[in-house]
Amino acid sequence: MDPIVGQLLSPRYDSGTIALSYVISFFGSLLALLCAHKMVRRDGTLDLSMLACGAVSMGGIGIWSMHFIGMAAYRLPVSIAYDVPLTALSLVAAIVMSGIALYLAGGKRFTRGGWLAGSLVAGVGVCAMHYIGMFAMNMRASMNFDLVIVAASVAIAIGAAATALWLAFNLTELAHQFIAAAVMGVAVCAMHYTGMTAATMVCISAAPAGLLPDGRRQHGTGSFNTASVVLIFIVSRIEIDDWLDIVRAKGRSAALLSTADRSAPPVHPPS
C-alpha cells in the first residue's frame, strides 16, 4: 500500500544484503591494512602508490561500497534515487579521510599521538561518508535524525577504528591483520546501521504519476561490481610488490656474493 502524506515510514532490511555489506567492508579493510604495512619502504621513504591503494581499499571499498550495498538492504515503501554530485562527494570524502588516517597512524612509525589522530580521522571519515550519502537520497520523504544516536554512531566508529588500527600496526602476523580487518568491518557496519536507526522518515507528498526510479538496487549492484574490480586490481598490485621485493633481495644477494668473490684472496695450489 502506498504511504500517505504525514505517514511515518517503517524500513525493512534484507539480511542477506546486510551480510554481503559486511563481507565487502572486511575485504576492503584487510587490503587497506596490508597496503599500510607496505607504504613505508625499507629506506624509510613513503610509497605513495601503496598509500593510495590503501586509501581506495578502505575508503572506496570498505566504507563507500559497503554503504551503498547496505542501502540496497534498506527497504522503504517509497522510491529512492541518488544525487550524483553528493554521491561523488561522499566517495571522495571516504578515500581522502582514509588516506589521511592511514598516514597518521603508520606513515612513518607508529606513535600514540599518530594512532589517536588516525583513529579520530578514520572514525569521522566513516561518519562523514555515511551522512553525506544519506543526504544524497532523493525521495518523497523528510529525514530527521536523533542526535543522541548520531553521537553514538560517531563514538562507535572512532572506538572501533582505534582498536583496528592498534591491532594492525602492533601485531604483524597475517592472522592479526585478519582480526584487525574484522574489527574495522564491524566498525563500519556498526556505524552505518546505528546511523540508519537515527533517521526517521516521514512521507511528504503523494506518489507522482511518473515515479522516480528506485536507485538502491542499481547503486548496490554497481558498488559491488566496482568493489570487486578494484579489489582484484589492488591484490595484483600487492602481489607485484611482493614479487619485486623477492627480485630485489635476490639481486642484493647476488651482488654481495660477487663482491665477496672479487675481494677474496686467490688460492694458490701447493708447489
- What are the pLDDT digits (tens) for 108-119? 777 888 899 999
Q: Identify which has the larger pLDDT, 14 or 208.
A: 14
CB 68 within 8 A of CB 234: no
- Into how many domains does the chain fold? 1
Per-residue pLDDT at 248 exceeds 80: no
Q: Is 214 inside any structural domain?
A: yes
For 55, other C-beta atoms within 10 Å of its C-beta total 25
Q: What are phi and psi of 218, to 5 degrees?
A: -60, -45
* In-domain check, residue 172: yes
Q: Is residue 270 part of a domain?
A: no
Mean pLDDT of the chain: 80
Tally the residues of the chain.
271
236 in a domain, yes or no?
yes
Query: 1: which 3 cell numbers?
Result: 500500500
Please tell me the distance from the alpha carbon of residue 173 to that of residue 152, in angstroms, as a whole number: 32
| β-strand pairing of 74-75 with 12-13 | antiparallel
Residue 215 has pLDDT above 50, yes or no: no
Q: State the CB neighbour count (10 A cutoff) for residue 213.
A: 11
Sign, Cα dihedral of 36, 38, 39, 44:
positive
Q: Which domain covers residue 82, as residue numbers?
A: 8-262
Answer whether residue 123 is part of any domain: yes
Segment 204-210 mean pLDDT? 70
Contact 241, 38 (CB under 8 A): yes
**271 falls within a domain:** no
| Residue closest to 222 by CA, chosen among 84, 93, 92, 15 | 84
Phi first, then psi: what are they for 78, rounded to 5°?
-135, 155
Flag the least confident range among 48-52, 153-157, 211-215, 265-269: 211-215
Residue 2 lies in a domain: no
Q: How confident is the model at residue 32 (pLDDT cuts 50, 70, 90)?
A: confident
- The answer to the question of residue 47 being in a domain is yes
The cell numbers describing 163, all together, are: 582498536
